[in-house]
Amino acid sequence: MDDRKLTMLMDFYELTMANGYYVDKKDKEIAVFDVFFRSIPDKGGYAIFAGLEQVIEYLQNLKFGKDEIEFLESKKIFDKGFLNYLSNFEFTADVYAMREGTPIFPHEPILVVKGPIIECQLVETMILLTINHQSLIATKAARIVHAAKGRSVIEFGARRAHGYDASIYGARAAYISGVLGTSNTYVDFKYSIPALGTMAHSYIQSYEDEYTAFKAYADVYPDSCVLLVDTYNTLKQGIPNAIKVQKEVLDPLGKKLKGIRLDSGDLAYLTIQARKMLDEAGLEDCKITVSNSLDEYLIKELISQGAQIDTFGVGERLVTARSEAVFGGVFKLSAIEVNKKLTPKIKISENVQKTTTPGFKQVYRFYDENCMAIADVMTLFEEEIDASKPYLLFDPDYVWKKKMIETYNVKPLLIPIFKKGKLVYETPSLEEIRAYHKQEFNTLWPAVIRLENPHEYYVDLSEKLWTLKQKLIKKYKR
């Protein structure tokens, strides 16, 4: 699977457009394309950027071999010169992107490709599908981890994911956003994300009775014994049998039962009762894990009911982002070079949300004196913001809404990844990405990250960019 060549993973119209550019001698024109999204999943207050590492790997390995060229030739619609161009293809564009783990917001570019238009067009699909999927899962995971209020979350969705790639990269994205581990062993093998798990109901059912199954498991795993206690009757059999295993198997070895897991029933009631029974048996340190179609809303409700839960195993609703399974990132032209000068381009729509912001852009994040994020501002790329001077923030849609800020810190979010096709970015480890996410997530105000009716985070335009956008709207909207 890891040796697959994904060169042809693109929408067919990428190839027909690229062929058209080549035949029309437009292939060397420099263009700028933005990747951005228009709305946050689940009506949330933020999203999380993920997938950059896989985009880098794809761009570094993008080559058209003999098999691909013969396949395209068989279509009998592509120019021979274009096929020869693909045979000798080299990626030469610039790429700018935000760091993985960054909280992101609608309409701001999270990745920018600047280079020959033919190259930009060919990489569109793979960039989008990579970022859309992982950002969707990272966002869902961040919501779930936040709802757990410091309790551990494990990704349990391998068997319910939309294919093995979705399982692997979904677990990766979830780990970035704070999930503790995964049920997917391959992910541990590939990314060193801890693979966790003990037993299924079938293990217990395969023995004559529950106690015998528990005893057999404890004999094999005395140092890490976690028992699934809801196969028959949680409170009358499961918990008592777990306590019996502690007394008859683990105590003589000087070991302790590490935990129990429940996968069904009234989880709030059962965990409260289980905690009492375990504590009365001297098993105060025995952890309680629950699973069973959990998501951020159910987790929040369980906690509000006083459920005694240490770890949440979250499966299908995390790895499939079941509540809203599309991220919706798009890849739009924002500028093109004319006479060696970048000319801003705009798409205008009756749907205001679909009107693009023109030009080659940068995104700056403003922080207050306590390092809390205030707002993002899109600027033209060459603009610089001097934090020693006051800065006027204003709503790009309701310009009378203004705020002058005087004490702040600011940083550009789009950093160079490729320059002229050469990787100039030192890809961080997954642990570094995870730590960066935690750091940046903690700069968001509680009102932004709450589940219901979150505060809308401000994404503004600089005065120069706002003026440019209005000028182009006036020019083309007749």
- Alpha carbon dihedral 119, 122, 123, 129, in 10-degree steps, equals 160
Q: How many CB atoms lie within 10 A of CB 427?
A: 14
CA angle 196, 201, 203 (to 5 degrees): 80
Mention every residue, 6+ apart, whose C-beta is less than 8 A from residue 323: 41, 42, 140, 295, 317
Q: How many residues does the chain have?
A: 478
Question: pLDDT of 430-452, one tens digit each?
Answer: 999 999 999 999 999 999 999 99
Looking at residue 1, its pLDDT comes to: 52
Looking at residue 352, its pLDDT comes to: 81
Beta strands in 211-290 (DSSP E): 226-228, 259-262, 287-290
Q: How many CB atoms lie within 10 A of CB 380?
A: 18
Owner of token pair 């209020």: 149
- Classify residue 67 by burial, with Cβ atoms within 10 Å: 0-12, 13-18, 19+: exposed
Across residues 21-46, what is the average pLDDT?
97
The band of 80, judged by pLDDT with boundaries at 50, 70 and 90, is very high
Across residues 270-294, what is the average pLDDT?
97
pLDDT cut 90: percent of the chain above it: 96
Across residues 206-231, what is the average pLDDT?
98
Looking at residue 477, its pLDDT comes to: 79
Looking at residue 423, its pLDDT comes to: 98
Do 192 and 172 touch, CB atoms closer than 8 A?
A: no
What ranges do the domains of the chain cover?
Answer: 12-137+326-361+411-476, 144-319
Looking at residue 382, its pLDDT comes to: 95
Smallest CA-to-CA distance from 142 within 10, 213, 49 is with 49
CA distance 413 to 427: 16
Question: pLDDT of 117-160, one tens digit each?
Answer: 999 999 999 999 999 999 999 999 999 999 999 999 999 999 99
261 token code pair: 């897991």
Is the pLDDT assigned to residue 297 strictly greater than 80? Answer: yes
Q: What is the mean pLDDT of the chain?
A: 97
Do 392 and 417 touch, CB atoms closer than 8 A?
A: no
Is the pLDDT assigned to residue 2 strictly greater than 70? Answer: no
- What residues does 312 pair with on adjacent strands? 153, 290
Do 279 and 271 touch, CB atoms closer than 8 A?
A: no
Across residues 19-29, what is the average pLDDT?
97
CATH superfamily of this structure's domain 144-319 = Aldolase class I (3.20.20.70)
Across residues 97-109, what is the average pLDDT?
98
Looking at residue 350, its pLDDT comes to: 82
CA distance 156 to 382: 45
Is the pLDDT assigned to residue 3 strictly greater than 80? Answer: no
346 three-class SS? coil
Looking at the structure, give the CATH architecture of the domain made up of residues 12-137+326-361+411-476: Alpha-Beta Barrel (3.20)
| pTM exceeding 0.85 | yes
Question: Element (H or E) spanning 328, and its range?
Answer: none
* Fold matches, 12-137+326-361+411-476 and 144-319: no
